[in-house]
């Protein structure tokens, strides 16, 4: 199986005298050299503000920026490039929908269905708009295995239900949710659905038209691209009816003190100078992923997941949190009564980077009656040897805390 670690210069270093083993791609993936080079190339040769200049540099920058939008559109199989709204991250994308769609559609007594396994970024924005409108957030329960209870999900719908917000893949459990089925159920009740795809896009084939969800949000930095770039996909008919989320330059058609009219999609939702260089970098990251092939990525990561699950399950006192039938390459666990932060600290001194804490999923921690856990999340640069090093590191942890 091909080793892609060589494409990522940051991984060629030592931490505390040990080779770096990076197992925190769920928080932020590392960047291949081609992405780093694209950002440097832009600043050295092509930098200018976009959409506004008639001169050569501005035209080049605009072309590169809009080319990235089209790459994103093709990568997720959206129907139109104007359905791709470029923002700062998944968090901003969800807030945009909550505030723009929610302000015009939610009223007192309405309900927003949000699953128990959500990241705070797909809980708090809905709580905020619910407080503003007098609506309420209703939790969709999950099973002990970490799967959404579809029978209960179906029963939660009523005339009060106005939105469903659910993750495609859990950042803690790794669970891959049945989005196509959940979308169909929501649409039977004429309810739109927003999908948080931050943990899915780099690890699964995502076909927006097949899923048929109304909104899909994801981030560049979890998909081998730069930080500070996110995407909101929305169906044209919904986006056209939604008011702007922010006001400023480039999102207007005409401004006067009597009345301002707004630009057409996608500009209506893209006020101000955007993160040009990093959007271009994200376009190159998509090129990188497509060159490898999503099927290759899925095969490699599922092999890693199976190998790591077997090895970690064999460690006495280690309990994996979440055993869904379908998972991305994420494993969260607790080890006896050793605090996850202590585990993370010891592993760091072995050169191994894992995440320890509540993973911005406090309601999920409460569901499993744990304050925190350790998470190992894998990317295309990880190998069986990385898993072996993690297992050896955990044995060191156990010896230290005997």
Q: Looking at 188-314, which runs of residues are DSSP E strands? A: 193-196, 215-219, 230-234, 252-255, 260-262
Q: Give the three-class secondary structure for 38.
A: helix
What is the C-alpha to C-alpha distance for residues 294 and 273, in angstroms, rounded to an integer?
A: 32
With beta carbons less than 8 A apart as the criterion, state whether 163 and 138 touch: no
With beta carbons less than 8 A apart as the criterion, state whether 21 and 352 touch: yes
Burial (CB count <10 Å: 0-12, 13-18, 19+), residue 177: buried
The domains located in the chain, with CATH, are: 5-30+294-400 (3.90.1150.10), 36-290 (3.40.640.10)
Q: What letters, b where the CB count within 10 A reaches 16 and e where it falls short, cover 364-388?
A: bbebbeeebbbbbbbbbbbbeebbe
Q: pTM score > 0.95 for this model?
A: yes
Catalytic residues: 360
* pLDDT for position 273: 94
* pLDDT for position 52: 81
**Which of 142, 136, 128 is closest to 161 using CA atoms?**
136
What is the residue-level pLDDT of the chain in tens, covering all 402 positions? Answer: 678 999 999 999 999 999 999 999 999 999 999 999 999 999 999 999 999 889 999 999 999 999 999 999 999 999 999 999 999 999 999 999 999 999 999 999 999 999 999 999 999 999 999 999 999 999 999 999 999 999 999 999 999 999 999 999 999 999 999 999 999 999 999 999 999 999 999 999 999 999 999 999 999 999 999 999 999 999 999 999 999 999 998 888 898 899 999 889 999 999 999 999 999 999 999 999 999 999 999 999 999 999 999 999 999 999 999 999 999 999 999 999 999 999 999 999 999 999 999 999 999 999 999 999 999 999 999 999 999 999 999 999 999 987
């Amino acid at each position: 199986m091909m080793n892609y670690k060589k494409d990522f210069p940051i991984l060629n270093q030592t931490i505390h005298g040990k080779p770096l083993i990076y197992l925190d791609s769920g928080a932020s993936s590392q960047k291949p050299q081609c992405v780093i080079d694209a950002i440097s190339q832009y600043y050295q040769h092509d930098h200018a503000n976009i959409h506004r200049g008639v001169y050569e540099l501005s035209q080049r920058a605009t072309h590169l920026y809009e080319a990235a939008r089209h790459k994103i559109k093709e990568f997720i199989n959206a129907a139109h490039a104007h359905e791709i709204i470029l923002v700062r991250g998944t968090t901003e994308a969800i807030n945009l929908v909550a505030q723009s769609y929610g302000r015009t559609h939610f009223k007192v007594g309405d309900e927003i269905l949000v699953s128990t396994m959500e990241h705070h970024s797909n809980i708090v924005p809905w709580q905020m708009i619910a407080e503003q409108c007098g609506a309420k957030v209703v939790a969709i329960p999950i099973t002990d295995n970490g799967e959404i209870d579809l029978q209960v999900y179906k029963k939660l719908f009523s005339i009060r239900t106005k939105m469903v917000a659910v993750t495609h893949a859990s950042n803690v459990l790794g669970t891959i949710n049945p989005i196509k089925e959940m979308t169909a159920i929501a649409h039977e009740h004429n309810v739109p659905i927003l999908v948080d795809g931050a943990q899915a896009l780099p690890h699964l084939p995502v076909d927006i038209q097949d899923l048929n969800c109304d909104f899909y949000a994801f981030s560049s930095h979890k998909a081998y691209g730069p930080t500070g770039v996110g995407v909101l996909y929305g169906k044209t008919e919904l986006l056209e009816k939604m008011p702007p989320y922010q006001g400023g330059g480039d999102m207007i058609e005409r401004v006067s003190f009597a009345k301002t009219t707004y630009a057409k999609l996608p500009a209506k939702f893209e006020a101000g100078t955007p993160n040009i260089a990093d959007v271009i970098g994200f376009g190159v990251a998509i090129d990188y992923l497509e060159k490898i092939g999503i099927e290759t990525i899925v095969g490699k990561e599922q092999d890693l997941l199976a190998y790591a699950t077997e090895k970690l399950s064999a460690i006495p006192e280690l309990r994996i949190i979440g055993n869904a039938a379908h998972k991305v390459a994420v494993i969260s666990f607790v080890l006896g009564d050793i605090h996850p932060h202590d585990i993370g600290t010891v592993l760091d001194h072995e050169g191994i980077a894992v995440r320890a804490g509540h993973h911005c999923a406090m309601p999920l921690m409460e569901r499993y009656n744990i304050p925190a856990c350790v998470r190992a999340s894998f990317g295309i640069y990880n190998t069986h040897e990385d898993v072996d090093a993690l297992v050896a590191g955990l044995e060191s942890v156990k010896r230290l805390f005997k």
